[in-house]
Amino acid sequence: MKIICAYPINLDAVYNVHLKEMGDFAREAEPKAVSKISTLEDLFSSLLYCMEEGSGTELLIERKDLKKKIEYYFPWRYRLGGNAGIMANVLAALEAQPILNAPALSLRMAKMLDPRVGIPAGKSLSAPLQAAGRDEMMHFVFQFKEGDRLPSRKGEVVAKRDNRLIASHDPLNSRLFSNQDFDDYCLGNIADIDGALVSGFHLVPLSNYREIFDRKIEDVESWKKKNPEIFIHAEMGSFQDPEIMKYLMPLLPADSIGMNEDELAMSDDVEPGWQGTMKAGLKLKRSLGISRIGIHTRDYILSIISQPLNPQIEIAASLRGISAAASMAATGSIAGPPPKEINAAGLAARDEFCRDGATPYGRGAFMQASGNAICLVPSLVAINPKFTVGLGDTATASIFYEQITAINKDRVNHRDMANSD
């Protein structure tokens, strides 16, 4: 199984919010949503706001000198980041062949990649260590846990739930840059590629998003034109402005789109609860005319699907994705044992879904509605998680692997039946 992973890969510098090291900075700021980070006050205003709301966001750092200050002030732990890089590692662990866009791959990043990840070089794929150079894009990840406290100009702020702020100085990924080797390899071998995971669109700035998107949409369209059977999933993100996502989604030739509940709310008004999420998801799927909308929340994954997917495939894939993400959160590896506790709010949503007529299946349930199947699977709870970053990408890659496996198996069965006739 060959799967394209594009576009962002970077180094994550991870820091757990700590009162002793951050208190003096936080006292000079107040909780406030910002669109970009131009000063240290912007950074701490956004961090305080995320803690107060229990939300997460990703913002661009405006200046290189500010990036150096942030790197200097805190003790960082480094790990592989970027949607495409994380998903490529997960797919390689599942024994697929990821084809990764990696225009800035330092040696320390290459060491964090699974050696089975393929980096296009000329007409072939190279192992990460063979493709490594000096360039490195860095994202600063400020992780906080429920109950963490920081002072502010407006009084103490207490984190509502576990989440994170990501601050990035990343000129390559903010342009969705891909080098010529990657573009040429993908197009030249597209007939043998089963799927593509495309992401990172949320990193593109408001100032020139149309120009950047139009180029990438053209690339993805060229893949579809040469291989109509390729299954493409596009993962959304925390966009600077809702108009960016609203421009992208109708034009991107994707079969499946994934997002969280905050990103869904960027597309339309969403009523509270899983029913509101379902209604908004159905409306969006109909407007886009695609095969799947997947909405991952803290409590459950709710997906709305049609051919070539079916409810049994989708629920099995969601279970695989939820377990992989929970294992990563609890142990730092998708190979670790997943926690056993099921999210109580997710269970309540599933039970209510079943009372409304849904059919139980495994730990989830599904319902047929107007040519679509609506699937809901509760999440698992990782107590004292080791990681909060990359869990959505881990789930997405695992789900996609299961979907592609099932789609390919179904195609082979149909061809065998056609040949026997």
Contact yes or no for 389/143 (Cβ under 8 A): yes
177 CB burial (10 A radius; 0-12, 13-18, 19+): middle
The percent of residues in the chain predicted with pLDDT above 90, rounded, is 87
240: left (phi over 0), alpha (psi -120 to 50) or beta: alpha
- The strand pair at 364-369 and 372-378 is best described as antiparallel
Integer Cα distance of 175 and 159 in angstroms: 33
Q: Can you spell out the DSSP letters for 129-165? A: HHH-BS---EEEEEEE-TT-EE--TTS-EE-SSSEEE
Integer Cα distance of 381 and 341 in angstroms: 5
Asked whether the predicted pLDDT for residue 139 surpasses 90, the reply is yes
Residue 378 lies in a domain: yes
- How large is the average pLDDT for residues 260-285? 94
Integer Cα distance of 218 and 274 in angstroms: 35
Residue 25 lies in a domain: no
pLDDT digits (tens, 9 = 90+) for 80-133: 999 999 999 999 999 999 999 999 999 999 999 999 999 999 889 999 999 999
- The strand pair at 292-296 and 256-260 is best described as parallel
Residue 91 lies in a domain: no
Asked whether the predicted pLDDT for residue 251 surpasses 70, the reply is yes
Residue 385 lies in a domain: yes
Q: First and final CA of the chain: distance in angstroms?
A: 28
* Residue 315 belongs to domain with CATH number: 3.40.1190.20
Mean pLDDT computed over every residue of the chain? 94
Cα–Cα–Cα angle for 260, 263, 264, nearest 5°? 85
pLDDT digits (tens, 9 = 90+) for 340-387: 999 999 999 999 999 999 999 999 999 999 899 999 999 999 988 877
Residue 213 lies in a domain: no
pLDDT of residue 277: 97
pLDDT of residue 418: 67
Q: Can you spell out the DSSP letters for 341-374? A: PBPHHHHHHHHHHHHTTPEEETTEEEEEETTEEE
pLDDT digits (tens, 9 = 90+) for 154-179: 999 999 998 999 999 888 999 999 99
Residue 379 lies in a domain: yes
Residue 240 lies in a domain: no
Res. 266 pLDDT band, cuts 50 70 90: very high
Domain count, the chain: 1
Note down the domain range covering 398: 289-421
Residue 127 lies in a domain: no
